[in-house]
Structure 1
Amino acid sequence: MTRSRWLPSPSLTVFLTLLWLLLNNTLSFGHLLLGVFLGWVISMLCREFLISVPDVRSPLKLIKFFLRVLGDIVTANLQVARLVLGPTHKLRPAFVEVPMEIEDEFVLAVLTSVLSLTPGTVSAVLSPDHKTLLIHALDAPEPEKLAAEVKMRYEAPLLEIFQCSTP
């Protein structure tokens, strides 16, 4: 996806315009023009920080993935509560290296966010070549199993959902 020099992010401009109108609680022509102007200026100022979002191949799979993540967050909250409220000497925290197939920056950000949102795991470091993700797990008796689960539950579906490059 290429960006226009004069309109680097049309969706951001529209979003900021709508946000301006909502904050001012008006649909007046003057506020509409001011919102468009502010949206355009802000998107111009932020264009160096914007990353491109790959196209979604399968919206249905995206919805299914979203529901899976929500379910995993609820389940993980219950598991972490049980672990934290139980005997702490039984915890087996570990840093786990997960080899990455995803190369797209946006999709990597989605994956690391999902891992950090799920209680019990936190994305710690992504290697400079983006080939290995280091995650910290509160309880990981079998680190290899956790790495395989991350790849199966999160990475594989993201590769199916988004049109992004793989090695």
Structure 2
Amino acid sequence: MIMNEKKELQVAALENGTVIDHIPSDKLFTVVSLLNLKDMDSNITIGYNLESKKLGKKGIIKIADKFFTDEEINRISVVASNIKLNVIRNYAVVEKKEAIMPDELKGIVKCNNPKCITNNEPMQTWFHVTDKEKGLLKCHYCEKEQQKDNIKLI
């Protein structure tokens, strides 16, 4: 009897749900947090430090019976660009999406200006994305600019 060697990670196929792929490993648990996955009742599989030709190491998340809104997807674009989402129905990919940073971010990023009204009054933060390629954000209220790489998430 000849045994075939399997060199790929074997994870249960997803009947319905979403696969979030191409997550940089160092951003995986930030994505988990941003999407509030710990509060979900769905079956969730998380792969960490998997081999990737593009990224070297990557993370992947499979979530059964969950389909994300564009707003939820846009939240994760703040921490990592080029994340891919595959929507699965009846074990087949029916839609592919990419996390793209939106033009505005509300209630996701903390303003790094201590005098900003959002840090002193109970109100939602609001940023305009002024340069998506460079990841430049500008506070709607105090107009302070900050880099995507230096942000604090709420």
Instruction: Give yes or no for TM over 0.5.
Output: no
1 or 2 for the larger relative contact order (CA 8 Å, sep ≥6)? 1
| TM-score in terms of structure 1 length | 0.27
Task: Give 1 or 2: higher helix fraction.
Answer: 1
Larger strand fraction of residues: 2
- The structure with the larger Rg is 1
TM-score using structure 2 length = 0.28
